[in-house]
């Protein structure tokens, strides 16, 4: 039974109410040690889970470091500064409702912090990688007609729910970008590399923000993002 306890559930057993009152890191460590001594049955599982977590974090840092040149590729859409003090990687999907909510917050963020840059790493999980999906369409417009990209982007974000060939055709018609609906092989390859990087980061869904060596999964409201940015920019 105890071998099935995950890292989260194991921590929930040892990090009980008393640690909420611990004021320092050392006090928290001491409290955890005391609880482990009182609950020795979870020690092995917790040890294995923490060891696996450390390995996973190291692998994540290595992927982040090795991906820097790829993230700087101008073929990625972005908003914010050309030469930023800090770059955020926005792992996103035009067919993901929470990605669209986060996009609105990120637009406010780059206005409030003009020294940052948000690079969009499109991973069309819901539509799949093919020659016709919202991500390939947006990238094709960005590649060939940047002046029309922003309007295309806004319409793709505005539509609730998932995209399909009909919804993409409607956006293309409104923006005069019908010729960019089907992307070339280079963009298909880019999306495949995005998906490989998504897996390399150890992500399981979108949206996710990567700031330095930190991952912020899911939708996060503006006020929380603002606090994170203020802290990162003062480091």
Per-residue model confidence as pLDDT tens digits over 144-155? 999 999 999 999
Q: Where are the domains of the chain?
A: 2-65, 69-234
CB 32 within 8 A of CB 15: yes
More confident residue, 130 or 16: 130
The pTM assigned to this predicted structure is 0.78
* pLDDT at residue number 6: 45
For domain 69-234, the question of CATH label 3.40.30.10 is answered with: yes
3-state percent helix, strand, coil for the chain, nearest multiple of 5:
60, 10, 30
Q: What is the dihedral of CA 74, 77, 78, 81, to 10 degrees?
A: 30
144/81 Cα distance (integer angstroms) = 21
For residue 94, with 0-12 CB atoms within 10 Å meaning exposed, 13-18 middle and 19 or more buried, which class applies? buried
Strands annotated E in the chain: 78-80, 86-92, 116-122, 208-211, 214-217
Cα 84 to Cα 20, 113, 115, 117, 154, distances in angstroms? 38, 10, 5, 6, 23
Nearest to 130 by CA among 97, 171, 178, 163: 163
Asked if residue 143 has pLDDT above 50, the reply is yes
């Amino acid at each position: 039974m105890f071998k099935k306890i995950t890292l989260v559930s194991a921590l929930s057993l040892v990090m009980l109410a008393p640690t909420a009152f611990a004021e320092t890191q050392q006090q928290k460590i001491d409290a955890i040690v005391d609880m482990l001594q009182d609950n020795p049955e979870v020690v092995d599982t917790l040890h294995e889970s923490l060891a696996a977590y450390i390995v996973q974090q190291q692998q994540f840092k290595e992927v982040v470091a090795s991906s820097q040149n790829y993230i700087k590729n101008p073929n990625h859409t972005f908003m914010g500064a050309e030469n930023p003090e800090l770059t955020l990687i926005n792992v996103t999907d035009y067919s993901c409702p929470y990605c669209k909510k986060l996009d609105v917050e990120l637009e406010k963020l780059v206005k409030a912090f003009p020294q940052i840059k948000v690079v969009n790493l499109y991973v069309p999980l819901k539509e799949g990688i093919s020659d016709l999906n919202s991500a390939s369409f947006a990238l094709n417009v960005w590649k060939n007609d940047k002046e029309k990209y922003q309007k295309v982007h806004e319409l793709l974000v505005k539509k609730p729910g998932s995209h399909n060939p009909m919804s993409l055709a409607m956006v293309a018609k409104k923006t005069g970008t019908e010729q960019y609906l089907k992307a070339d092989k280079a963009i298909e390859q880019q999306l495949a590399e995005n998906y490989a990087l998504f897996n390399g980061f150890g992500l399981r869904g979108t949206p996710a923000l990567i700031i330095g060596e930190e991952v912020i999964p899911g939708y996060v409201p503006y006020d929380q993002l603002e606090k994170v940015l203020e802290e990162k920019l003062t480091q």
